[in-house]
Amino acid sequence: MSEILSNNDTITLYHAPQTRGTGIWTLLEELGVSYEMKVLNFAAGENQQAEFLAINPLGKFPTLVHKGTVVTEQVACYLYLADLFPEKGLAPAFNDPKRGAYLRWMAFQGSSFEPALIDQAFNRSPIEALHSPYGSFDTMLKALYDQIAKGPYLLGEQLYAVDIFWGATLKWCSMLGLITTNPVVDAYIERITSRPAFINVEQQDQALKLEQSSAANNGDIN
Ligand SMILES: N[C@@H](CCC(=O)N[C@@H](CS)C(=O)NCC(=O)O)C(=O)O
């Protein structure tokens, strides 16, 4: 798989196709910066091998390495990369009034949306809203959809990295039937995911997935 953490300027994305890492790959393409990608096959257990676990003990994607530092968790990866290239305009500057809302909707994905989604998808009995990190599933989703309805992008007229994040997230969740959308949300998803970077990455990602599946079928991997 890889050498030990390199302490250089190269951005390395450890990726497995059709995972949460696909959105980070898309962001790298949107930024138009150079990076290297190390593709692992988690169906074959490559993410549970010692070499990768030494980088990310959870064995999860996305995992980024840059300048000898490991960045995991989607939210952190989106924030890290967009801030790394301020000239690309995908993150509001620290003194931009939009910065607070930008951080809010980034964090919302990991702190409210994901726990709610997993609870619902696996039929976990909801705990009372007072003790739940997201209130109730419906309240959480309505808050997000109300923000999207302000449009055309999450923070108004300009597309930011947070839109790449939500475009990728909502497309997957809606395809998998994990959320119910509405025409306004569908239009938002389409607006984001019809961008060339999305289409390009989706095609390459599908090809990678196919490659991994046929390798498995041919007995190239266990
Ligand atoms: N908390 C992590 C979750 C990442 C995650 O669950 N990734 C999945 C792919 S979508 C994964 O790596 N699964 C492989 C495994 O656990 O073996 C994040 O926000 O990035």
For ligand 1, atom 2, name the residue with the nearest CA. 73
Specify the pTM: 0.95
For ligand 1, atom 6, name the residue with the nearest CA. 60
Q: How far is the CA of 73 from the centre of ligand 1 (A)?
A: 8
pLDDT in tens, 11-31: 999 999 999 999 999 999 999
**Average per-residue pLDDT for the chain:** 94
pLDDT at 64: 98
pLDDT at 3: 53
pLDDT in tens, 26-58: 999 999 999 999 999 988 999 999 999 999 999
Ligand 1 pocket, residues with Cβ under 6 angstroms: 19-20, 42, 47, 59-62, 73-74, 110
**Cα–Cα distance between 162 and 140 in angstroms, integer?**
17
Span 189-218, average pLDDT: 94
Span 218-222, average pLDDT: 58
